[in-house]
Structures are given as C-alpha cells and as structure tokens.
Amino acid sequence: MKAAIYKGVRQMACEDRPKPTIVEESDAIIRVVRACVCGSDLWFYRDGGHDVDGQTGHEAIGVVESVGSDVTIAKPGDFVIVPFPFSCGKCPVCKAGFESSCPHGGYFGSGDGMGCQAEYLRVPEANGTLVVVPGDAKSFSDEMLASLLTLSDVMSTGYHAAASAEVKPGDTAVVFGDGAVGLCAVLSAKLMGASRIISMSHHADRQEIARKFGATDFVEERGDEAVAKVLEMTDGYGADAVLECVGSALSNDTAMKVARAGAVVGRVGLPHDVEADIPGLFFRNVGLRGGPAPVRTYDMRRLLKEVLDGTINPGIVYTAEYTLDGIQEAYAAMDERRTVKSLLRVSEV
C-alpha cells in the first residue's frame, strides 16, 4: 500500500509499505478514504523528533475492511471516524469521558501500520476507539466528507477548548490561534452560545473563515498590547471564557492575563515552555483546564449529529487538497502558510 513516510527535516515521501493486518482480536483494519496533515505534524516536519522512515498522520475517516473476533462496534463495510487517540473504552478514565488520556491507549501517527496518512490503517482497541457514522456514506458529498474528517481531531479539539473554558450563552470568548483548531474553537464557542467572539487572528484568509464561524472581533496585537486591547473591549474586566489553541509561552501568558476573574482558560495547544503565575491566578479565581481532546466523547455526544444535520460545516478549514503521492507538497503548503490545512484524498467511499 501507499503510505506517507517521514524521511527527515522538511522531507516527506510516499512509499510502498506492507498493508497492515489484524494483530490483536480487538483490532480493526480501515481502508482510508480521507486523511489530512495536522498543525502538530509540522513540529517534526520542521524540527525532527519523529522516527525516520516511520509512518505519519493521526486523522482519518474510512471504510472498515476487516475486524478481529472481539470487535462488536463495527463490521466490514461500515463507515467510521478514527479519532486521533485510541482508547480502551472500559477503564474509569474512558468512562468519565477523558479517553484521550486512557492509560491503556495511545496516539496514531507513529509505528508501522498505525499512520493515518496511508491507504490502510490498523486501529487497536476498535470497540473503545471508532466512531461509526450512520447513513449511506456513498451519498456523502466531498464537503460532508471534509467536515466528518474534522471530527477525527480539529473540530473536536476546538470544541474541547470551548468546553474546558465553560463557554456559556451570552459570553464574551477570546480565541488564541487561527489554525484549523483555533478556527474550530471559534465555531464551538458560537455553538455554545457566545455572543461576542474575539479572534486573535492576524491573517486575512483565516479571519475570513473565523468570521464565517462566528467571530465578531479581531485583535491583531500581541503580548501586553493584546491584553490592553481585550481589557478595553471588556470594560476592564477581561473575557468570560478564554480558548488557548496555540501552546506557546506568549499565547498562554496572554490568555491567562485576559481572563476575567472567575473565568477558565481552556487549553488545547500543546504547551511549549509555558509558565503560570499560580499566586496571580489564585487571587483572580482563574482556572486552567484542557489537554488532548476526548474526540470520541464529543463526536458521539453532539458533533457527529451537528455535522450530519448540516448545522455546522467545519470542513471549510481544508483550503487545499492533495493525494498521497503529493505528500511533500501537502506538508510544504501548510508549513509555508499557503493553506490553512491540507486534505488528503486517499480513496473513494
């Protein structure tokens, strides 16, 4: 089968790899229909930190090809979303709805046969991982497939930022980050009823999508100037909900400073060298929550229905499309900000 392979810094290739097979009876093999490149893939693309000659990708939708004898959730032919974490579905962590932190699970994107940017994928713990999509997948438009694909990561991760920040109807929410996750966080804040949504975007193409998703204001300043701007917009009190979708030290620092006393900062950006003013947060009663998104819980609870009903159309974050043969260009275009997010058309339903 064809698979995207990491060859070194800024070097991706499409190579032939053995098609994965059932290893454990809890496994499912998926024929990938659509996959994509994630902002987090750019970390190893730019700086290394991934196995050279290893497979890549953690976001996919596809058709079940075969299942082990323990798999009851899906059968061959079913159309499924593959959330970026795999999880047992049975332990107290999974039952509490935080399966992305399951001690028996892990993440796709490393290991042979476990990369989503490939023609076939092995899914461990299928019963606790897969999200089965009801309906006739052959009738889904390209737009619908793109929106379903966002439910493997970015839409559900944006939703986690909003849920962690406890966005309520009428709130003023501030969203840090204008990558696909930040844009989906805007859409999620809107879905939860925020009446004013301030996006920290300073790119015209991304502001346009943010506006479609419900952003009402933009702050292009950074650091102390951004803090001053948000305080000025909120009568000096700060925002009711803060959604942090970047992970950098500056973004986190600014996010904690623009939170109104009593607000929660919902964090989904992978933290890099972040420090927190714990005493300062204490006196302002500001909370910090968030982490890897429990994609499956949100998909099954709400988001899959919202997408299938057409209430939300998060798939517009994909602004360019490639095949596996074009994997180098799919990464390069995102790295050079020529596209918000690269879609990979792998096969047809």
Interface contacts to Zn ion, rule CB under 5 A: 38, 87-88, 91, 94, 102, 153
Size of the chain, expressed as the number of residues it contains: 349
Supply the minimum distance, in Å, between the C-beta of residue 346 and Zn ion.
16
- In the complex, minimum distance from the CB of residue 254 to Zn ion, in angstroms, rounded to a whole number: 23
Chain-centroid distance of CA 120 in Å reads 21
Q: In this complex, which beta carbon is closest to Zn ion, that of residue 92 or of residue 169?
A: 92
DSSP state of 302: I
* Whole-Å CA distances, 11 to 1, 266, 318, 343: 20, 34, 22, 18
E-assigned strand segments in 92-214: 106-107, 120-123, 131-132, 172-176, 196-199
**Quick one: 82 or 265, whose CB is closer to Zn ion?**
82
CA distances (Å), origin 218, targets 24, 229, 230, 249, 314:
49, 10, 10, 21, 20
- Looking at the Cβ atoms of 206 and 229, the one nearer to Zn ion is 206
Q: How far is the CB of 37 from Zn ion (least distance, A)?
A: 9
**Which two structure tokens, joined as six digits, stand for 118?**
């490939």
Shortest Å, Cβ 10 to Zn ion: 19
Q: What is the DSSP letter of 269?
A: S
Q: Nearer to Zn ion by C-beta: 256 or 307?
A: 307
Residues 150 and 293: beta-carbon distance below 8 Å:
no
Q: In the bound complex, which residue of the shown chain has the CB atom lying closest to Zn ion?
A: 38
C-alpha 177/C-alpha 222 separation (Å) is: 12
Residue closer to Zn ion by CB (options 111, 287) is 111
Find residue 345's DSSP bridge partners. 34
